[in-house]
Amino acid sequence: MNIVFDLGGVLFHWDPEELVSRCFSEVKERDLVYEQLLSHPDWKEMDRGTFTYEEAARRASERTGIPHERIMDIFEEIPLILTPKEETVELLREVKEAGYPLYLLSNMPTEILPYLESHDFMSLFKGKIYSCRVGQVKPDGEIYRTLLDTFSLVPEETVFIDDYPVNLPGAEALGINTILFTGPGECRERLAALGVELGDPSPV
């Protein structure tokens, strides 16, 4: 079985509201930035690789009236929010040690990739699909087809793990098994139900 992990919310902590709160103290500004940047289609275009941080910040500044440099503070804070989830990283290592091929499928902008790749556990993946590198984003179905085609994966022999329910149907439509990630313990149980055999988890 091929095991495909998402990053944000699965292997890395990701809390958009905390991200905005770190940079903006006023509720009105926080709400505006959340709506006009993090929830705006421009964010997906960053993931697609269409916009850089600079371009997205400039456009958000024009929409909100908030100075460009203050919008850019959001991007400086991302590595402080996007930190490894150690229990899931341990699960990742267990899956690798059990002999299952590991793959990555994640929506990520170009600028954050060096930070992500600086973590040693990222070398455990046999193959990686970053949205910004293929010009495709979840939940659009084409990115799941790209995953299968790039690494010659058989859908029925592949499991995709993601924390956003909206990202699962596109994979399921191609016959890929899916797991909605709610925590490493339940993920382990779901993997076992799909026939993925792991050893006993390490004691806490």
Q: How does residue 71 score in pLDDT terms, banded at 50, 70 and 90?
A: very high
Q: How does residue 199 score in pLDDT terms, banded at 50, 70 and 90?
A: confident
Would you call 84 exposed, middle or buried from its count of C-beta atoms within 10 A (0-12, 13-18, 19+)? Answer: middle
pLDDT of residue 158: 98
Spatial separation of the C-alpha atoms in residues 164 and 138, rounded to whole Å: 10
Predicted TM-score (pTM) of the model is 0.92
**pLDDT tops 50 at residue 51:** yes
Q: For residue range 126-167, what is the model confidence (pLDDT) as tens digits?
A: 999 999 999 999 999 999 999 999 999 999 999 999 999 999
Q: For residue range 103-123, what is the model confidence (pLDDT) as tens digits?
A: 999 999 999 999 999 999 999
**pLDDT tops 70 at residue 13:** yes
Least confident range of 108-112, 178-182, 198-202: 198-202
Find out if CATH 3.40.50.1000 is the number for domain 2-13+84-193: yes
Task: Please list, residue by residue across 8-22, b when 16 or more beta carbons sit within 10 angstroms of its beta carbon and e when fewer do.
Answer: bbbbbebeeeebbeb
Spatial separation of the C-alpha atoms in residues 82 and 106, rounded to whole Å: 13
